Structure 1
Amino acid sequence: MSNWKDAYASREDLKEYGDNGLALFALALRFGVDDLETIAGEAITDGNDDKKLDMVYINHEEEYAVIAQCYYSSKDKQSAPSNKASDLNTGIGWLLQRDIKEVPDRIKSAAVEIRDAVREGAVKTIYIWYVHNLPQSENVTSELVTVQSTADTAIKRQFSSAKVNIHYVEVGDETLDTWYEESLSPILVNEELEVKTDGGYSISGPNWNAYSTAISAQFLYRQYKNHKTKIFSANIRDYLGSRSTDSNINNGIRRTIDSDPDDFWVFNNGLTILTHNFSVNDENIISFKGFSIVNGAQTTGAIGSLNKLPSPTAKVQARFVSTQDVDQELIHKIIQYNNSQNKVEASDFRSTDRFQKRLKTEFSHIPNAEYEGGRRGGAGDAIRRRPNLLPSYTVGQALACFHQDPIVAYNQKTAIWVSDRLYSKYFNENTKAAHIVCAYSLIRAVESRKKSLMDKSRKGSLQSHEEEFLKYFRQRGAIFLLSSAIVSCLEIILERKIPNLYRISFGGLVSPSQAEAYWEPIVDVTIPFCTQLNKALSGGLKNNTTVKEVVSTFRSLVQATSISNKGIYSTFSERISAP
């Protein structure tokens, strides 16, 4: 089996990021993200005056941030230079402590965003990473302990009421190897755990062992609080929340465990839990390594989202299953069949609702395009990039931008798939695959423009006006805001009224890469007005009133210059299909 180095070497798409490509790869392995291109556009800070920070990734919805310094050696060495780890002390100071007026533009937006997130309780864990491709060492660990102390002191001094856990990790060869091996498994929670049972029975097959029993709902409550949706890593759907309506099954689960805890076992279908291995002792305590709920996400999520610990009398049926690690096909079938025996309604399960089914069929006819209809790409795509894949989360963000919700696109990429209100706004009868390609390719065209500016900056060939463009792009949320602003100008560009934005596309035979090429001239002629959007990014992309104000100004400037750009607009208009 190939190791992580082989897998990383195969990621041609990460080479353009230099040393930082390894940090993106590590992020994919550790947190299972597959929309790396979009993440890189916001999180990579590397360059002159970056104050020793190469990556600052902030995930508001999962309440964590990753601050990273990166080093990639082309030669074999015994360890990575420890001074690169100590450089993180400098970066932490600038990011969390220095007067924001003194923070350089390259990292100012990141500093504002992470400070606000800590202050508001939107970030509860900060990971400090020194990412490299060499053996790990005691010297580096020692330096990282100091960095952790620096960060902890900064948090307590600047945000006295904040409760933030600081974790340092030397992400070297050993750690990357461990994460890579874990990524080959559908189990992301790899702790050693144990729980008291009421007894049960064992059964086995050619390549699997199982134990059927009952466990305390309190155990599930604590695991959900500790790990959130990671415990559903082998489940094709996460917990989708509960609404206070009689028809919502998750709300019914919550109500039942509150009002009838003694009868919960007999009312509920129970869980299937995939583990690496397990054992049961004479006291009916089951000990197991690894924990992923294959079937029962709604039950677990409903229990875990209770406002208080459930009654100790509430029991849940549980079937623990372990397989031989090498039998990936068996694991796949366990996951598949445990999630297909009962009918799943559209409101519970996005990736099999009628809109996503239709979209996947439509995408099958679009050249060089793959779409998974709401599912994250998973571990496989963290390891091997599928060049034609449109990641589901990025698709949701692109649709939010196109339909004038850049704040949602930047801050709520998971909520787009979880919230019924947001989901139905962007995925409905009007949403077609060709429209998704149009929206998605605009995001990619804007990202590409930022990359070209960064390349010129590294080569020292930026012109003064381009320096202003790059200064704009260094702000968090800039890509989404500019994309949304461009769409707001479509009636000017097309010279006609657009009664329904969902009908805008390049037709069903245009690939995403070709669509991106169609957008590039539009990005080029509108980007000079990007500085007019700065006000909405100051302090973070979160004020709808300010967004509407700056987009209006942007649109006025596009209107004022429309005659001089008539040829470009006419060519673009001819490519748009809006029946």
Structure 2
Amino acid sequence: MVAEKGPKHDSWTAAFRQFSQSLELGADGIGLFAIDQRFGVEDVRTAAVESITGGGDDKKLDVIFLDVSRGLLVIAQCFDSPKPKQAAPANKASDLNSAVAWLLNSSIDSVPEEIRGRVAEVRDALEADMIRDFHLWYVHNAPESKNASVEVLNAERTAAKLLSKRGGVQVFGAEVGTETLERWYLGSKRAIKATSKFSVRVADAIEISSDRWSSVTTLVPGHWLRQLFLDHKEDLFSANVRDYLGSRRSGDNINNGIKETATTEPSDFAVYNNGVTALVLDYHLGPRARAGRKLDVVGISVVNGAQTTGSLGSLPEDPDPDLLVPIRFVKSSDEQLLAKIVRFNNMQNKVQAADFRSGDEIQNRLRSEFQGMAGVSYDGGRRGGSSDAIKRSRTSIAAHTVGQVLTAFHGDPVAAYDKKADIWVDDGLYSRIFSERTSAAHILFAYSLYDALTTRLLTLRGKARVGGPGLTEPEEKELRFLSLKGAPYLLVEVVARSLETIIGQTVPNRFALRFSGTPTLADSAAKWQIVIDAVLPLSEQLRGAFNRGRVVRDGKDAAIVAFDGLFRALQSLRPEAFQEFAKAVKVVEPELQKS
């Protein structure tokens, strides 16, 4: 439960309760809630599994959220009091110093196994120059205080010192209490957060309008756009589907190319660049004069051109005065139209890997098949919409996660964990799992296994944190194994390989597997419990598939073979163990897939 703090700072609490309860998150869910409000998380359930450390010997690293596609790392220490408090304990904020030391400066072999995989991932990402923004947060449900803020800033200085040789990483420390959570929550419901008045002098402009919108198109100085970014940071992209992704020093990174062009060819930038589209609350275009025209803008959010804006904004100094950026300012009060403007202005961009496939005939067919199913929905890579981002459904499954689960189910849990985006970009990887043989019923069959495994992990984490008798020794072993990075995906493949033994019949192609009837996601996940109960006690046989706490190719197949041999031997002693489960499974011939 979340402490009520009065009318000024309590709007977020109901949203957090819904967020936490619907996704079955524990006490550290407040950290993930804050990350979702600040940056947006596509699949919160998977993020919870991969980012919330689960307590125990977590070295004060309650949440380790890593998104290399955005160059983003968030480390959160969390405190969620069931009773109202005047301030959160400052000593928990000081724990961030210890967390930073364990994350960045300890021997990897000394890091507890439960978090070693995630720590190794962070270090690998830093080594590869894939992290640009490093956030250190103390997230809690009490008013913010000077004492806690001082401790957070101390942790920020510690992190900055340890990362001093990596000049491309910016460290941001913050106490995230009721005031900040309220501001972020309310801000997530508003399309335009940068609501000030902005003025710029332009050479000329073209203004056009209809009965639903008006717009002005012109060229603005690059230094003006850079200053907007410096003043407002991510708020400048509040209506966009993504923020600035950062720039890595590599030839194939588009943002690095934008910065290089701005530096070496500023006078030609306007003809090289696609330009910027921004939503505004209002604008006024002044009359023509010898000095140009004055353009006043009230409120702004960049909905296309975030990478251009961020690249210019991250230059060490103002670009050449000759550098001009094409830009279109759009004003409308029609919410449906604004949602379409955001969506259509991003269709040509590499917003996320799944966007490349969201409109193909396979994803269209799968979305249609899921529409006829109860208790489950599938986005098929199509994201967005004008609804409140907090309204998440426990029965909604994200396309990216489906891609990972299918990849694991059909034999490659390492790619499932390490190549989330590649699954949708690489034609070979994509066509292996999404074809005419792929049905919504099969996706539900495979995904519900993953759902049941992650539910078991979240339940064990919750039980480990609360008072009382705590976990039994077998449960502690289960939690340690499931907390290894990629373990749920490895178990998905392990179970898939064992299904012929489990159901007692030949499976010529795993895509033929589905549950009988029309079960919901919850019904389907419940069917897997007897299988999971049998598999998890044998999980120690799979330790050879992990290195530095994460699943790897070397040793994976040998570990699975060893597991399979033991599982078959045990199953032969109890041939009736899975009779009820076997009755619920159906193997559908190819010509019957559409029935």
Offset of residue 127 of structure 1: 1.0
Compare 276-285 and 568-577 and name the one that shifted more.
276-285
Compare 197-206 and 525-534 and name the one that shifted more.
197-206
> Does residue 1:512 correspond to 2:521, yes or no?
yes
- TM-score (ref. length: structure 2): 0.78
> Does residue 1:417 correspond to 2:424, yes or no?
yes
Offset of residue 442 of structure 1: 0.8
Q: Where do 1:153-302 residues align within 5 Å?
A: 153-156=161-164, 160=165, 163-186=168-191, 197-203=202-208, 209-214=214-219, 234=240, 272-276=277-281, 283-284=292-293, 289-293=299-303
Q: Tell me, yes or no, if the aligned pair for 1:32 and 1:379 is still in contact at 8 Å.
A: no
**Code of the aligned partner of 1:416:** I
Q: Tell me, yes or no, if the aligned pair for 1:401 and 1:480 is still in contact at 8 Å.
A: yes
RMSD (CA atoms): 4.4
2:454 is matched with which residue? Answer: 447
> Does residue 1:475 correspond to 2:458, yes or no?
no
SS at structure 1 position matched to 2:562 = helix
> Does residue 1:394 correspond to 2:397, yes or no?
no
Offset of residue 75 of structure 1: 4.0
Task: Classify 1:312/1:413 alpha carbon distance in 2 versus 1 (closer, same or farther; 3 Å).
Answer: farther
Compare 478-487 and 271-280 and name the one that shifted more.
271-280
> Does residue 1:485 correspond to 2:490, yes or no?
no
1:438 is matched with which residue? Answer: 445
Q: Tell me, yes or no, if the aligned pair for 1:113 and 1:539 is still in contact at 8 Å.
A: no
> Does residue 1:543 correspond to 2:541, yes or no?
no
2:391 is matched with which residue? Answer: 384
Separation (CA, whole Å) in 2 of partners of 1:5 and 1:467: 32
Gaps of 5+ in 2: 1-6, 246-253, 314-318, 589-595
Q: Tell me, yes or no, if the aligned pair for 2:137 and 2:173 is still in contact at 8 Å.
A: yes
Q: Where do 1:360-375 residues align within 5 Å?
A: 360-375=367-382
Offset of residue 519 of structure 1: 1.3
**Equivalent pairs: percent with the same residue?**
36
Give CA deviations for 1:320-356 in whole Å, capped at 9, x if unaligned: 11345xx534423544676899xxxx99742222111
2:65 is matched with which residue? Answer: 57
Offset of residue 165 of structure 1: 2.0
Gaps of 5+ in 1: 240-249, 305-309
Offset of residue 214 of structure 1: 4.1
Offset of residue 39 of structure 1: 1.5
Separation (CA, whole Å) in 1 of partners of 2:244 and 2:437: 26
Task: Classify 1:52/1:265 alpha carbon distance in 2 versus 1 (closer, same or farther; 3 Å).
Answer: closer
Task: Classify 1:84/1:221 alpha carbon distance in 2 versus 1 (closer, same or farther; 3 Å).
Answer: closer
- TM-score (ref. length: structure 1): 0.80
Task: Classify 1:36/1:266 alpha carbon distance in 2 versus 1 (closer, same or farther; 3 Å).
Answer: closer
1:553 is matched with which residue? Answer: 562
Offset of residue 359 of structure 1: 0.9
Offset of residue 106 of structure 1: 3.8
SS at structure 1 position matched to 2:279 = strand
In the comparison of the two structures, how many residue pairs are matched? Answer: 550
Q: Tell me, yes or no, if the aligned pair for 1:121 and 1:162 is still in contact at 8 Å.
A: no
Q: Tell me, yes or no, if the aligned pair for 1:233 and 1:293 is still in contact at 8 Å.
A: yes
SS at structure 1 position matched to 2:175 = strand
Separation (CA, whole Å) in 1 of partners of 2:227 and 2:427: 27
Offset of residue 62 of structure 1: 2.7
Q: Tell me, yes or no, if the aligned pair for 2:104 and 2:162 is still in contact at 8 Å.
A: yes
Separation (CA, whole Å) in 2 of partners of 1:451 and 1:337: 37
1:94 is matched with which residue? Answer: 102
**Code of the aligned partner of 1:122:** M
SS at structure 2 position matched to 1:33 = coil
Give CA deviations for 1:229-255 in whole Å, capped at 9, x if unaligned: x9596469999xxxxxxxxxx9xx99x
Task: Classify 1:83/1:515 alpha carbon distance in 2 versus 1 (closer, same or farther; 3 Å).
Answer: same
Offset of residue 361 of structure 1: 0.9
Separation (CA, whole Å) in 2 of partners of 1:376 and 1:451: 26
Separation (CA, whole Å) in 2 of partners of 1:298 and 1:426: 32
Separation (CA, whole Å) in 1 of partners of 2:347 and 2:73: 35
Separation (CA, whole Å) in 2 of partners of 1:134 and 1:462: 30
Offset of residue 314 of structure 1: 9.3
SS at structure 1 position matched to 2:143 = coil
Offset of residue 287 of structure 1: 6.8
Give CA deviations for 1:94-137 in whole Å, capped at 9, x if unaligned: 22222333333443333333223322333333211111122323
Task: Classify 1:199/1:472 alpha carbon distance in 2 versus 1 (closer, same or farther; 3 Å).
Answer: same
Offset of residue 60 of structure 1: 3.0
1:71 is matched with which residue? Answer: 79
**Which of residues 128, 132, 135 is equivalent to 2:140?**
132
